[in-house]
Amino acid sequence: MGSRFLDAQDSKSKNLDIKYNYSEKYHTLQVFKNNLKIEFDSIDFWQRNLKLKYQKVKFNNTIMNILSLHNLTTIYKKASKVSKDNPKCNRKKYLTLKLLQ
Q: pLDDT, tens digit, for every residue of 21-30?
A: 998 888 888 8
Residues 29 and 63 in one domain: yes
Pseudo-torsion of CA 56, 70, 24, 80, nearest 10°? 180
49 SS3 class: coil
Residues 12 and 37 in one domain: yes
Residues 83 and 60 in one domain: no
Residues 12 and 51 in one domain: yes
Average pLDDT, the chain: 80
| Structural domain span for residue 81 | 68-101
On the question of pLDDT at 44 being above 60, the answer is: yes
Residues 13 and 61 in one domain: yes
Residues 61 and 97 in one domain: no
Residues 13 and 60 in one domain: yes
Q: What percent of the chain has pLDDT over 70?
A: 80
Q: What percent of the chain has pLDDT over 90?
A: 12
pTM over 0.75: no
Strand partners, 62: 59
